[in-house]
Amino acid sequence: MKQHELKAGALLLLAFASILAFAWIVGVNNPLSHRLHLYVTYHFAGGIEIGSPVRVSGIKVGQVDTIEFYAMQKSEVISNKEPGSMQDDKNTAQAPVRLRLSIDPKAAISIRQDSKFYINLAGVIGERYIEITPGHRNKGEIHEGDQLIGTDPPRIDQLLSQSFDLAGKIASLIEDNKDDITHTVELMVKLSTNLNKTLTWVERSELFKSDLGKLVTSLLALSQDLHKMTQKIHGPEGERMMQLLSKLIQRLEPLEQKAILDFFQKEGIRVHLF
Amino acid sequence: MWRMLASILIDIPHFLIHPRRFRWRETLEALSTLGAGSFQVITLATAFAGIVITHEMAWHMQKALHSVAMVPGMSAQFIVRELAVAVPALLLVSKVGASLTAEIATMKITDQIDALRLLGINPLDYLLYPRLIACTVAGGALTLISILVTLLCSVATARAYHFSPPEYLALAGHFMKLTDVIQAVIKGSTYGAIIPIMSCAYGFCCRGGAEGVGHTTTQSVVASTLCVIVLDFILTMLFSLI
Amino acid sequence: MLRFIRELGAIVLFTKSILYALWIGPASMWHEILHETSRIFWRSLQTISFAGFFVGAILILQFDTILARYDARLYLGGVCMSTIIRDVGPLIIAFLLVGKVGAYTAAELGTMRVTEQIDARECLGAESFVTLLAPRWMSIVLASLTLLIAGLSISIGGAFFLALIHSSINMHEFLFLVPRFNGFSTLGSGLLKSFIYGLLVATLACFYGFYAKNGAAGVGRAVTKATVGTHFSIIVANYLTGTLLTALEHLGGP
C-alpha cells in the first residue's frame, strides 16, 4: 500500500513538473523563435527602454532587445537630418546609441533599406515606441543583423531652450530700443489721427464733393472720345491706312534706309504719343 | 459566544494597564510555535502568489496599454498594498486560528479550563494574552517577510518581461513610499490580533464532545476569515482617506 | 519529503477510490448528491455573499488609489473586474469556502471517525466510499463551483457599488472598458480556477476528515490540517493553472 502511495505521489509531482516544463518551453520559445534582429543607431533615443514596442505601419511586430553605447567608426557619417535634432559636427564624433530590435519576420518583408525608424509617443501615459515606415519596393530587403540608421526624434528639450533663447533676445531688443519704439508708436498714433481728421474733412466739405463730381464727368467724356478713336483705328479705315503706310515704307526702304528709318522712328514715337 | 467576545474585549484594556498579568515565558513560546511554525507555509504561498500576480498584471497591461512598461510599478504596489497583506493573514487564520481554536476547545470539553480556574489562574492570562501578543508581533513580522519574498518573486518573474532587477526596483520605487509599508505592517498586526481573540471567544464556548470541537473550529475559521476581509476593507478605506 | 510524497500519493489514491465509487454507485446516489448540494449551497450562500461583496469593494479601493496615481481611472472598471474574475476573486472566496465548507466537512467526518460511527457503519456492511464519501465529495465539488460563481457575481456587484459611491466614476465609465478585458479567456480562466478550487476543497476535506484519529484533539488537528492544506494547495493550484493558461494563450495567440 505504501509503495502505491509513493508511486502515485511521485506521479502527481511529475505531472506538475511537466506542466511547468510545458509552460516554460512555450513561454521561452514562442515569442523568441524565428525573430529577425536589426541594429539601429541613434544620437538621441528619447526615452526608449528595453522592451519598448516596435511597430510597422502602426502594428506591433517586435520589441527593443538591448540598448548599448556603440563607438562609431570615423568613416560612418549619419546623413539624414531632421529639424530640431542635434546633428552638429562635434556630435557625430560621439558614441551614439545602438538598439537591437527583434522583429517578426512576416513584418520584415515590408521593411526596406530606406525605411525610416522614428521614435514616437503613444498611449495615455506617453510610452515610447519605434515606428518603422515601410520602404520603397525597389530598395533592397533587410537581413538578419543589418545595421541601419534611425531618425532622431525632435528634441523637445532643445527646441524649448532654443525658443526660450529667442524669446529672451526679442525681449532684450525691445528693452534696448524702448524709447525709439515708443516714439514710433506715438508718431503712428499722430499720423492716424491726422488721417482721420483729413478724411472727416473730405467727407464733410461740399466744395470738394462738387469739384470731384466735375472731374469725374470730364474724365468720363475723355474716355468716351478715346474709345471712339480706337474703334476707328480697328475698323476697315484704319486697316487701309495701315496697309498704305506699310506699302509706303516698303517703297521707301531701298532709298536712304537709315535716314528714313530714323525719321520714322521719331515720327512713330510721336504718333504713339499723339 | 457574543458575551464571551464582549468580555474578552472588555478585559483587554485591563490587561494593558496591569503589566503583572503579562507572562514572558508563554509569550515567547507562543511566538516561536505560532510565528515560526507558520513561516514556511506563508513564505512559500506568498512566493507563488507573487509570481502569479506579476503575470496577471503583465496580461492586464498588455491588454490595456499594449505595453508591459508599467508592470513593476503596478505589481509592486498591488503586492505591498494588498496581496502580501491579505494572503498571509488568511493563511495565518487557517494555520494558527484553526489549531488555536481546536486546542482551546479541546481544553474546554476536557474541563482543563475549569481546572485552571480552580488553581486560581485566569484562563485568559494563560491562554489568550501570550498568544494575542505573539500573534500581533508575528502578524506584522510575517507581513514584512512576505512583502519581501513576494517582491523578490515578482522581480524574478519580471525578468521574463525584460526588466532587470535594478530597473524593476527603480521603477517600483517611484510608486512606493515608506507609509505604504507601514500601513501594511499595521494591517498585518491587526489581522494577527484578531485571530486569537476569535479563537478564544469560540473555544471557550465549545460544548459537546468531538463534534463540538469540529464545529467550533469551523465556525472560528469562518468568523476570523470574515473579520479579516471586513477589517481589510475598513482599514483600506481609512488609509485611502488619509 | 518522502512523507510529503506519500501523503500526496495517498490523496491521489483516495480521489481515485471516490471517482470509482461514483462510477459504480447506484443511480439513487445522484438524487442524494443534488439534495446535499443545495443544502450546502444555501447554508453557505450568506457568508459567501457577505465576503464576496467586501472582496470587490477592497479591490476597487486598492485599484482606485493605484490608478489615480497614473490618472487612469478609466481603466478601473475593466481592470478591477478582470482581476476579480481571473485571479483574486476566486482565491479569496475559495479561502472562505475552505473554512465554511471544507472545515465543516472535515469536522463532521472526523467526528464520525473518532466516535466510531464510520467503523460501525462498515461493520454493518456499508461501503464508506460509496455511501458516505462519494456523495459528499461530489456535492461539495458542485456546491463549491456554484458558490464561487455566486460569490464572484456578488463581488462584481460590490465593486460596481463602491466604484459608484467612492471613486467618482459613473456607470458608463465603469462599463466602458469591461468588454475589452473580460473576454472568453478571463471567464474561462475564472471558471477553471473555481472548478479546481472546488475539487481541492472537497478532496482534502474528505481525506483529512476521514482519516482523523485520537479523539477530540484529533478532530481539531484534522480540521487544522484540512484548512491549511487546502489554502496552500489553492495557492499552488492558482500558480499552476495561471502558468498553464498563459502558456496556452501564447500557443493560441500570436
A10 to chain C: which residues are within 8 Å by CB? 5, 9
B109 to chain C: which residues are within 8 Å by CB? 216
Residue with grid cell 497614473, as numbered in its chain: C70
For position A256, what pLDDT does the model report?
61
For position B22, what pLDDT does the model report?
76
Q: How confident is the model at residue B187 (pLDDT cuts 50, 70, 90)?
A: very high
Residues 162-181 of C with CB under 8 A from B: 177, 180-181
Give the residue from C98, C94, C56 showing the smallest Cα distance to C77: C56
The residue among B242 and C152 whose pLDDT is bigger is C152
Q: Which of B112, B222, B241 to mutate to test the interface with C (most CBs of C within 10 A)?
A: B222
Q: How confident is the model at residue A152 (pLDDT cuts 50, 70, 90)?
A: confident
Q: Which of A1, A3, A12 to mutate to test the interface with C (most CBs of C within 10 A)?
A: A12
A124 touches chain B (CB under 8 A): yes
For residues A97 and A136, state if they share a domain.
yes
Asked if the structure places residue A27 within a domain, the reply is no
Asked if B56's CB is within 8 angstroms of C83's CB, the reply is yes
Alpha-carbon distance A11 to nearest alpha carbon in chain C (angstroms):
8
Q: Which residue of B has its CA nearest to A129?
A: B67
Contact status, residue C45 vs residue B221, Cβ threshold 8 Å = no
Mean pLDDT of A35-40: 80
Mean pLDDT of A139-163: 77
Asked if the structure places residue A6 within a domain, the reply is no
Which one-letter amino acid corresponds to residue C49? Answer: S
- Classify residue C74 by its DSSP letter: G
Asked if C224's CB is within 8 angstroms of B211's CB, the reply is no
Considering only CB atoms, B69 lies closest to which of A60, A65, A127, namely A127
Task: Give residue ranges of C with CB < 8 Å to any A CB.
Answer: 2, 4-10, 12-13, 16, 70-72, 74, 240, 243-244, 246-248, 250-251
* Most confident of the ranges A231-245, B145-159, C176-190: B145-159
Q: How confident is the model at residue A25 (pLDDT cuts 50, 70, 90)?
A: confident
B66 to chain A: which residues are within 8 Å by CB? 53, 60, 123
Per-residue pLDDT tens over the stretch A199-234:
888 777 776 667 777 888 888 998 998 888 888 777
Judged against a pLDDT cut of 70, whether residue B105 lies above it is answered with yes
- Classify residue A97 by its DSSP letter: E
Average pLDDT, chain C: 86
Q: How confident is the model at residue B190 (pLDDT cuts 50, 70, 90)?
A: very high
- A244, B34, B135, B137 from B141: Cα distances, Å: 125, 12, 10, 6
For position A30, what pLDDT does the model report?
52
For position A27, what pLDDT does the model report?
61
Neighbours of chain A (3+ CB pairs under 8 A): B, C
Total number of domains constituting chain A: 2
A63 touches chain B (CB under 8 A): yes
C249 to chain A: which residues are within 8 Å by CB? none
Asked if the structure places residue A22 within a domain, the reply is no
Contact status, residue A116 vs residue A78, Cβ threshold 8 Å = no
C193 touches chain B (CB under 8 A): no
Mean pLDDT lowest among B69-83, B160-174, C97-111: B160-174
Continuous segment of H or E residues that includes residue B228: helix B209-241
Q: How confident is the model at residue C206 (pLDDT cuts 50, 70, 90)?
A: very high
Residue with grid cell 464576496, as numbered in its chain: C52
For residues A130 and A207, state if they share a domain.
no
Q: How confident is the model at residue A23 (pLDDT cuts 50, 70, 90)?
A: confident
Mean pLDDT lowest among A214-218, B79-83, C248-252: C248-252
Domain residue ranges in chain B: 23-235
The residue among B226 and A135 whose pLDDT is bigger is B226
Q: Which residues contact C197 (CB under 8 A, 6 or more apart)?
A: C90, C94, C97, C144, C148, C234, C237
Question: Which grid coordinates belong to A42?
Answer: 541613434
Residue-wise burial string across B11-32, b where 16 or more C-beta atoms lie within 10 A, e elsewhere:
beeebeeeeeeebeebbeebbe
Considering only CB atoms, B68 lies closest to which of A27, A51, A123, namely A51
Question: Which grid coordinates belong to C230?
Answer: 487546502
Rounded percentage of chain C residues whose pLDDT exceeds 90: 21
For residues A54 and A129, state if they share a domain.
yes
Judged against a pLDDT cut of 50, whether residue B55 lies above it is answered with yes
Alpha-carbon distance C25 to nearest alpha carbon in chain B (angstroms):
28
For position A123, what pLDDT does the model report?
58
A215 touches chain C (CB under 8 A): no
Residue C171 burial (CB count, 10 A): 11
Mean pLDDT of B129-135: 88
Note down the domain range covering A68.
33-155
Neighbours of chain C (3+ CB pairs under 8 A): A, B
Judged against a pLDDT cut of 80, whether residue B68 lies above it is answered with no
Please, where are the H alpha helices in A104-235?
Answer: 105-108, 156-176, 178-204, 206-234
For residues A96 and A205, state if they share a domain.
no
The residue among A109 and C6 whose pLDDT is bigger is C6
For position B177, what pLDDT does the model report?
81
Q: How confident is the model at residue A91 (pLDDT cuts 50, 70, 90)?
A: very low
Q: Which of C140, C228, C233 to mutate to test the interface with B (most CBs of B within 10 A)?
A: C228
Judged against a pLDDT cut of 90, whether residue A198 lies above it is answered with no
C227 to chain B: which residues are within 8 Å by CB? 94-95, 98, 221
For position B184, what pLDDT does the model report?
92
For position C125, what pLDDT does the model report?
81
For position A86, what pLDDT does the model report?
45
Q: Which residues contact B94 (CB under 8 A, 6 or more apart)?
A: B221, C95, C98, C99, C224, C227, C228, C230, C231
Q: Count residue pairs from B and C with Cβ separation < 8 A.
A: 192
Asked if the structure places residue A173 within a domain, the reply is no
Bin B66: left if φ > 0, else alpha if -120 < ψ < 50, else beta: left
CA-based diameter of chain A, in Å? 146
B217 to chain C: which residues are within 8 Å by CB? 103, 107, 219-220, 223-224
Integer-rounded Cα radius of gyration of chain B: 20
Considering only CB atoms, A6 lies closest to which of C5, C244, C248, namely C5
For position B24, what pLDDT does the model report?
80
The residue among B144 and B8 whose pLDDT is bigger is B144
Asked if B225's CB is within 8 angstroms of C228's CB, the reply is no
Alpha-carbon distance B43 to nearest alpha carbon in chain A (angstroms):
20
Q: How confident is the model at residue B60 (pLDDT cuts 50, 70, 90)?
A: confident
Contact status, residue C131 vs residue C78, Cβ threshold 8 Å = no
Asked if B65's CB is within 8 angstroms of A123's CB, the reply is yes
Judged against a pLDDT cut of 60, whether residue A87 lies above it is answered with no
Residue B55 has, within 13 A of its CA and on its CB side, a CA count of 23
Asked if the structure places residue A44 within a domain, the reply is yes
Residues 34-93 of B with CB under 8 A from C: 41, 44-45, 48-49, 51-53, 55-56, 59-60, 63-64, 70, 74, 77-78, 81-83, 86-87, 90-91, 93
Considering only CB atoms, C62 lies closest to which of B78, B99, B101, namely B78
Per-residue pLDDT tens over the stretch C67-89:
877 777 777 888 888 888 888 88
Rounded percentage of chain A residues whose pLDDT exceeds 70: 73
Q: Looking at the DSSP assignment, which residues form a beta bridge with residue A127? A: A122
A209 touches chain B (CB under 8 A): no
Asked if the structure places residue A87 within a domain, the reply is yes
Asked if A53's CB is within 8 angstroms of B66's CB, the reply is yes
Judged against a pLDDT cut of 50, whether residue A90 lies above it is answered with no
For position C194, what pLDDT does the model report?
92
d(C-alpha C34, C-alpha C21), whole Å: 17
* Last residue in a domain, options A139, A155, A171: A155
Mean pLDDT of A131-139: 79
For position A73, what pLDDT does the model report?
57
Domain residue ranges in chain C: 2-252
User: Judging by DSSP bridges, how do beta strands A117-122 and A97-103 pair with one another?
Assistant: unpaired
